[in-house]
Homo-oligomer: A and B are copies of this chain.
C-alpha cells in the first residue's frame, strides 16, 4: 500500500474529477459506503479465490484472544451496493443509478498497476432489465476514457448465459461449469493451446474441450453471433437470450461513443461468480489486465433480501488508468499545479503581524498564498536568500517582498521566479497584478 505525495494526489483528483463529471452527465448519483463490512456480507460472493483475498478484522475485546474476525475490509463496491439496495430499498427510486469512487482492499500479490489498496470507480444501474442500461454504462465509460485522452481502447463484451449454453451443448458436466468458465477466461493470457493444456490437466475430456475451443472461434470475429447461433445443436432459452441481448447492446451502442470500440469476445468470461448476463472488459494494448470491467448481476441483491432486483454495472480501475496515463504522458500541464500562487517573504524580523495581515488580504481576494514561516534573522544574521530558495523549491511562481523602500512608498516588490524579473507594484494593485 502506498502514500500519495501532493503531485500524485493532484493527478488522482484530476482523473476522479473527470470520472465523476461524466457519470453525473448520465444522471448517476453519488453513494458512499463504509470501508468495513460485516464479514458474512462479503464471504461467498466472489468465488473461492476471492474469499481468500479478503482482509479480516479481529473482533474487539475477547475476540483479540481467540482470533475471531467479525468484520472485513470491502473487496469491491458491487457487493456493498447490493447490500445498500436491499437495506434502503424504500428510500431509493425504482431505477437507482449510482456512482461510487472509493478504495477497496485485496490481499493480493502486487504487480504493475495492481495494489493491495486501490480505488474503484463504479457506476451501476439498479432496477431495469433493459439493454439500454448496458448501452449507457458502456457509453459513460467510453466518454470517461475519451475525455482523459484515450482513443485506442477496446471494449470487449460477452454474455454469461450464452457461455452456459455453449458449455451445455459441448457436454461439460453441470458441476464443472464454473471451473470451465475460469479456464475459458484465460484465453486472453494463455492463448488457445495454453487453455487446451489446462483443460487437459484438469481432466476434462478432450472431445469436450475441443468442442468448447472450436466454439470460442477467432477473437473479435464480428459474425460470431450468427455462426454460434447456427452451430449450437440446442441453443436453449439461455443461449437465445444471450445472443439477443448482445445484438441489442451492439445496436443501441451505434448512437454512442462506445460503438466504434465495441467487439464481441467469445472467450470473455470474467472471474467473479455473481454475473448473470452481459459481461464486459475494457483494454488497452500496453497493459496486461484491463482498465475496467463489469456486467449484469440480477441475483446479487436477492442474496441480501427476499426479492431479486435487476442490476448492471461497470468499474474503472483508477490506478491502472493512472499507470497508463503516466507512461504515455497524458496529464495536462495544469494538473501538476504549484502549491501557491505567491509567497510572501518576511523581510523584517519584528513585523510578522504586518506580513500575516498582507497574506490574509491576498487570501481573501482568492489567491493561494504561502507565508514564509520563520524569521529572517538567525544568530543575528539575515537569511533572506533561504526564503527565495524555498519558493523556488516548491515551484511557487511569484515572491512578494515588503522591505524598507516598499514600506515607505506603500508598494510591494514582486519577483517572477521563472524570469528573475522584479517589479514594484502599488500595494492596492497587487491582487489585480497577480491575477493578470
Query: Which A positions have Cβ atoms within 8 angstroms of B?
Result: 1-6, 8-10, 12-13, 24-36, 55-58, 60, 64-69, 71, 73, 84, 87-88, 91-95, 97-98, 103, 105, 107, 116-117, 125, 127-130, 132-133, 135-136, 139, 143, 251-252, 254-257, 339-340, 343, 352-354, 356-357, 360, 363, 366-375, 390, 393-394
A69 CA / B56 CA spacing, docked (Å): 10
Q: Report the nearest B residue to A34, measured CB to CB.
A: B1
Shortest Cβ distance from residue A30 to the other chain B in the assembled complex, whole angstroms: 4
Q: A10-B30, A94-B390 are in contact. List 10 more A-B contacts (CB 8 A).
A: A1-B35, A2-B34, A5-B92, A9-B31, A24-B339, A35-B105, A65-B67, A97-B339, A130-B373, A132-B374
Partner of A394, one of B93, B130, B257: B93
With A93-B390, A93-B394 in contact, do A32 and B9 touch (Cβ < 8 Å)?
yes
With A5-B31, A6-B30, A128-B373 in contact, do A353 and B57 touch (Cβ < 8 Å)?
no
A354 CA / B107 CA spacing, docked (Å): 46
Shortest Cβ distance from residue A53 to the other chain B in the assembled complex, whole angstroms: 8
Contact A128 B25 (CB under 8 A): no
Partner of A57, one of B9, B57, B68: B57
Shortest Cβ distance from residue A14 to the other chain B in the assembled complex, whole angstroms: 12
Shortest Cβ distance from residue A55 to the other chain B in the assembled complex, whole angstroms: 5
A256 CA / B359 CA spacing, docked (Å): 10
Shortest Cβ distance from residue A363 to the other chain B in the assembled complex, whole angstroms: 5
Residues on B with C-beta less than 8 A from A84 are 3
Contact B3 A29 (CB under 8 A): no
Residues on B with C-beta less than 8 A from A92 are 5
A218 CA / B416 CA spacing, docked (Å): 52
Q: List the 7 closest pairs (A to B, CB-CB), nearest first.
A: A67-B67, A27-B370, A1-B34, A6-B29, A9-B30, A255-B357, A27-B340
Residues on B with C-beta less than 8 A from A60 are 55, 107
Residues on B with C-beta less than 8 A from A3 are 31-34, 84, 87-88
Q: Report the nearest B residue to A256, measured CB to CB.
A: B360
Q: How many copies does the complex hold?
A: 2
Contact A33 B58 (CB under 8 A): no
Which of A4, A10, A64, A117 has the most chain B CB atoms inside 10 A of its CB? A4
With A25-B367, A27-B370 in contact, do A117 and B35 touch (Cβ < 8 Å)?
yes
Q: Report the nearest B residue to A81, measured CB to CB.
A: B3
Contact B373 A95 (CB under 8 A): yes
With A98-B6, A373-B128 in contact, do A360 and B105 touch (Cβ < 8 Å)?
no
Name 12 A/B residue pairs within 8 A (Cβ), A-sorted: A1-B35, A13-B30, A25-B369, A34-B117, A36-B117, A56-B57, A58-B69, A64-B69, A132-B374, A133-B373, A139-B360, A255-B360
Contact B32 A4 (CB under 8 A): yes
Residues on B with C-beta less than 8 A from A370 are 26-27, 97
